[in-house]
Amino acid sequence: MTFASTTTALTLCHRRAPLSFPKTRSPQRNSVIAFSSFSNQIVSILSIQNEELQVQTRMWNWKGYFIRYQYSGNNGPALVLVHGFGANSDHWRKNIPDLAKSHRVYSIDLIGYGYSDKPNPRRIGDDSFYTFHTWATQLNEFCLDVVKDKAFFICNSIGGVVGLQAAIVEPEICQGIVLLNISLRMLHITKQPWYARPFISSFQRLLRDTAVGKFFFKAVATKESVKNILCQCYHDTSKVTDELVQIILSPGLEPGAAEVFLEFICYSGGPLPEELLPQVKCPVLIAWGDKDPWEPIEMGRNYGNFDSVEDFIVLPNVGHCPQDEAPQLVNPLVESFVARHANSSSLTPSVD
């Protein structure tokens, strides 16, 4: 696969529109009047429970930028779900309601993605704004300001690098990390042969500094392109629905999305997972879809040798985005991992 096609493929593993949930149905009227009062009480209780488990969306003001997040659940350990490149918190739509039954679940749009603000780094005078350090800081401060508690980080793709970086910077915040097909960062400059590095740098400048980049983005940001790319990374292509395509595409058509996209695909520095894993103090679980065409499991298995990694789980017949393609496999793994490592002294504050 060429550098350009790899870049295209790595672009869009995720996204989505507002969640919808079925309303609680009231039972049909019973001919026995004596049961009517009792039935109404049951319906009232069920309605309250259903309302508590709804996924709610809010905006968080972080350093003057608006950050979208979703949350559900009122009890149990806190989980923060971190999406991958080109994604947003809606990519966890099949996980949040299930996990919220026994956890406080938050999913966040990293700055530059989803429906969070997308500041242009050129305009704010910072060409290194969209980095893992920025996103790790955002994640930790989200836990302090919104979650108001330590948390488990559940991460997909490049979100895994964000989670690892955050856990190293503020180790007292992260209780544990689940990595789902973490990005191997194969386009990292140190993983390129020396003779290719000048070409890669020139290609990145061409994308970022000329109209070629905008043309490239427009070619990618279409329903047809998004669907084709998703069908590459999902082993079960029946899971690539119109809803999923819109989840990925819609936020990518917002102002500033093109600049963020180009900035990140030109980001070939920063930390590598193999550099971060030895520094992590909390327990780590790695799960990997064995049909991932972008992050080969044969290379990912090496991460299971680090002391911080307690287990490496193979997810059979699953591609790059296990949380969406196979939530029936991922959700129990998360629940089991959290149950093993949850601190009983964890706070359970209400969301402001």
**Average pLDDT of the residues in 207-213:** 76
Please say whether the beta carbons of 96 and 70 come within 8 A.
yes
CA distances from 191 to 147, 188, 194, 337 (A): 37, 5, 9, 32
**Average pLDDT of the residues in 342-349:** 52
Residue 225's φ and ψ, nearest 5 degrees, are -65, -45
Beta-bridged to residue 119, according to DSSP, are none
Question: Taking Cα atoms as reference points, which of 83, 239, 262 lies closest to residue 162?
Answer: 83
Q: How many residues does the chain have?
A: 352
Distance CA 18, CA 57 (A): 9
Give residue-wise pLDDT tens across range 317-337: 999 999 999 999 999 999 999
Question: Taking Cα atoms as reference points, which of 299, 317, 261, 300 lies closest to residue 114?
Answer: 261
Is 228 buried (19+), middle (13-18) or exposed (0-12) by CB count in 10 A? Answer: middle
Give residue-wise pLDDT tens across range 232-274: 999 999 999 999 999 999 999 999 988 888 887 777 778 999 9
**pTM of structure:** 0.81
Cβ neighbours of residue 143 under 8 Å, at least 6 residues apart? 78, 80, 149, 150, 151, 173
Q: What is the pLDDT of residue 75?
A: 93
Q: Which two tokens stand for residue 211?
A: 């109209």
Is 65 buried (19+), middle (13-18) or exposed (0-12) by CB count in 10 A? Answer: middle
Distance CA 233, CA 240 (A): 10
Q: Which residue has the tokens 């350090």?
A: 133
Cβ atoms within 10 Å of 328's Cβ, excluding its own: 9
Give residue-wise pLDDT tens across range 87-124: 999 999 999 999 999 999 999 999 999 999 999 887 87
Give residue-wise pLDDT tens across range 11-57: 333 333 333 323 332 333 333 323 233 233 323 333 334 445 799 99
Radius of gyration of the chain (CA): 21
Torsion of CA 218, 17, 119, 170, to 10 degrees: -130
Q: Chain centroid to CA 141: how far?
A: 17
Let me know the angle formed at the C-alpha of 69 by 345 and 67, rounded to the nearest 5 degrees: 115
Question: Taking Cα atoms as reference points, which of 17, 111, 107 lies closest to residue 67?
Answer: 111
DSSP 86: T
What is the three-class DSSP state of 315?
Answer: strand
Q: Which residue has the tokens 């309601």?
A: 97
Please say whether the beta carbons of 281 and 164 come within 8 A.
no
DSSP 15: -
